[in-house]
């Protein structure tokens, strides 16, 4: 599957507030569906559905501990989303730097420096 399709799935998954709440719940430790459902205030069935969407998007992983299924964040999936979003920042930071430098140039009468 292409990286673009994975990114699209990840962004769609993150668009849902319940799924973001689930990710926040499992950000520090793997948890079973029942605990996640109780924490986010959803039924186990609804939580399982959201976990499936997150897993197919590459944002969570499932493991077994005895008879329990534990869900944890898949850091590689989040890294892909972050990498995509990070690509926007250097350009914006360069624009901001240029605007500040233009604003602070001597002789423009626009300097905010007091000294």
User: How far lies 21's CA from each of 36, 42, 48, 54, 57, in Å?
Assistant: 9, 10, 13, 12, 16
Report the chain's mean pLDDT, rounded to a whole number: 87
Q: How many CB atoms sit inside 10 A of residue 26's CB?
A: 20
Q: What is the pLDDT of residue 107?
A: 62
In degrees, to the nearest 5, what angle opens at C-alpha 40 toward C-alphas 53 and 48?
A: 30
The topology under which CATH files domain 3-103 is: Arc Repressor Mutant, subunit A (1.10.10)
Maximum separation of any 2 CA atoms in the chain, in Å? 73
The half-sphere exposure of 90 on its side-chain side, counting CA atoms within 13 A, is 4
Q: What is the pLDDT of residue 78?
A: 86
Q: What is the pLDDT of residue 73?
A: 95
Q: What is the pLDDT of residue 32?
A: 97
Extents of the domains making up the chain: 3-103
Residue written as tokens 């534990």?
Answer: 70
Grouping H, G, I as helix, E, B as strand and the rest as coil, residue 19 is helix
Is the CB of residue 77 less than 8 Å from the CB of residue 57? yes
**In the chain, which residues have pLDDT < 70?**
1-3, 106-115
Q: What is the pLDDT of residue 115?
A: 45
Q: What is the pLDDT of residue 80?
A: 86
């Amino acid at each position: 599957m292409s990286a673009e399709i994975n990114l699209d799935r990840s962004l769609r998954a993150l668009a849902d507030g319940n799924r973001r709440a689930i990710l926040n719940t499992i950000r520090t430790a793997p948890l079973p569906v029942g605990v996640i459902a109780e924490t986010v205030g959803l039924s186990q069935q609804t939580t399982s559905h959201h976990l499936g969407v997150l897993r197919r998007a590459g944002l969570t992983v499932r493991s077994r501990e005895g008879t329990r299924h534990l869900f944890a964040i898949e850091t590689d999936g989040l890294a892909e989303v972050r990498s995509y979003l990070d690509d926007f920042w250097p350009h914006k930071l360069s624009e901001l730097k240029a605007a500040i430098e233009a604003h602070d140039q001597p002789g423009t009468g626009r300097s905010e420096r007091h000294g």
